[in-house]
A and B are shown apart, each in its own frame.
Chain A
């Protein structure tokens, strides 16, 4: 697993992997926490023309002039391209304008359904989580979305206790049957590797393993027999330039420290 001796932290590896999922010129709905940095990193590296949309009612096409911890920090409003209502930016999502969005999760299942609401234990509520925020909207209405979360057995479960943000439900055809107009998760970036989804069955598929992690280790930390892609790669490590930019974006390591 990534350590200080590798020259980067695990969070830096995850943020870099997230950033690389953004293509130049795409319209990105940016979520809270790690995804915020992923978008800013992409802007400063390979995707300078990506446009960022934030649920508070913010559209901007340049990184904030100073490091920010959250999207409502005033530097993120400074010289924004548009300050508006939440319903305006949600309209851009609902009408299909948003190419890609990022969400975090507490619990995910083999079809990429996410739970950030209720964790149950033997039929009773064990943990009440904060809820959807914009996550349900992003998972339902972007052209595609990317999930970022810690990879632990109790988080990677066969079936989530509650679908806050829909993935592929119970498999192929489910989103269409549910009335969702488009989209679905395209990648799950975790603390151990990267998963994508089988284009036919819509089941999660291990495609990339972080440096120092084994496939065995990932299977042991997944609550169902995770399928492995025919070609399994090692997650590319952050470049020196990516690390330099990340450390400018998060100088105190609040999000990406070890």
Chain B
């Protein structure tokens, strides 16, 4: 029997796999390929009480927090990479409406790796000497049974859903991702469900021609969404550059709750489709972000 297509609309994918209260891992490539379109759809559906899991989330987490979707973050860093602090996160944390579990990039990777490997924790040498233990109950000091040395045990994280933005996928969830991968592989393996948003939908043959580039086994993927420019303003290798101005402008657009509400109406609530979003972005800006210098890799031979 032919496998069933997993292609669906973004709103359907979020409706099905991101229930209120879910633990969601995203922004797993750190600064690149952040699934902004999916995050904006979560906001449009006004999901509640989510726990967001990630390494350095850039401004996507801040937007979801500002929109009232988030109860807790389990993250290494929440901010705006090129301007510093992010204001919705600050407001929520300082007012006490947001619970935060403090990780480092290494501990979040180990937590997801433990989840991916099916073990209760992973050992690490990081966090020793720090106060992360005080604000993160999933870190404990242990003694190595072999060497007697002190270690940090990082408790496993198994998110309900991973949301991953990739360059291309077939309709069955076999997807190619290239560039820096961050914690994407362990995040997918650790999660019960996986939503893939892709710049392009391609044939299974195109994916099978290069299995080393497949980010996670397709049989574990639940939803495939065609989302071109779905990571804007973050960059996607092979597709478009980082829109620095969007991050710089967001600093003022989120400085007060009122400014953020205005931003939210314009860029999220009034946007019904990716066409709407691109119209709002404008042709000039899009052309500026497109790749100017291409670099195609040499083909490799997987034959026998």
Which residues of A come within 8 Å of B, CB atoms? Answer: 32-33, 54-58, 65, 69-74, 77-79, 83-87, 90, 93-94, 117-118, 125-137, 139-141, 162-166, 169, 174-175, 178-181, 254
Contact = CB atoms under 8 A, between A and B. Distances in A.
A163 B181 contact: no
Given A77-B180, A84-B181, A130-B77, A55 B102 contact: no
Given A57-B30, A65-B293, A164-B132, 7 more contacts: A55-B30, A58-B180, A85-B185, A87-B110, A131-B102, A178-B150, A179-B151
A93 B107 CA distance: 13
9 contacts: A55-B56, A56-B29, A69-B242, A70-B81, A72-B81, A74-B242, A86-B183, A140-B130, A178-B150
Interface string B20-38: 0000000001111000000
Contacts of B132: 132, 136, 164
Nearest to B152: A179
A140 B125 contact: yes
B185 A72 contact: no
A234 B291 CA distance: 45
A126 B94 CA distance: 7
Interface stretch (B82-90, B162-170, B204-212, B216-224): B82-90
Interface stretch (B44-52, B233-241, B275-283): B233-241
Nearest to B92: A128
A236 B72 CA distance: 47
B244 interface: yes
B125 A72 contact: no
A165 B89 CA distance: 21
A135 B104 contact: yes
Nearest to A32: B81
Contact of A94 (B100, B126, B149, B234): B126
A128 B129 contact: no
Contacts of B185: 85
A117 B30 contact: no
A58 B182 CA distance: 9
Interface string B149-186: 11100000000000000000000000000111111111
Interface string B120-146: 000011111111101100000100000
B76 A131 contact: yes
Contacts of A164: 130-132
Contacts of A70: 31, 81-82, 242
B103 interface: yes
Given A55-B30, A163-B130, A166-B128, A136 B182 contact: no
Contacts of B129: 140, 163, 166, 169, 174-175, 178-180
A73 B126 CA distance: 27
B202 interface: no
A133 B56 contact: yes
B127 A69 contact: no
Contacts of A125: 93-94
Contact of B78 (A83, A131, A141, A163): A131
Which A-B residue pairs are the 8 nearest by beta carbons?
A: A72-B31, A179-B150, A130-B79, A166-B129, A178-B129, A133-B77, A128-B93, A57-B180
B197 interface: no
A181 B103 CA distance: 20
Contact of B242 (A72, A94, A165, A180): A72
Contacts of B32: 56, 72, 77
A65 B293 CA distance: 10
B55 interface: yes
Nearest to B150: A179
Given A57-B181, A78-B293, A94-B126, A86 B235 contact: no
A87 B30 contact: no
A175 B109 CA distance: 24
Nearest to B33: A72
Contacts of A71: 31
B11 interface: no
A172 to B, nearest CB: 14
Contacts of B89: 128, 130
Nearest to A72: B31
B94 A127 contact: yes
A126 B85 CA distance: 14
B268 interface: no
B43 interface: no
Given A72-B31, A137-B106, A166-B128, A129 B85 contact: yes
A74 B291 contact: yes
A72 B130 contact: no
A117 B102 contact: yes
A77 B132 CA distance: 31
B274 interface: no
A179 B149 contact: yes
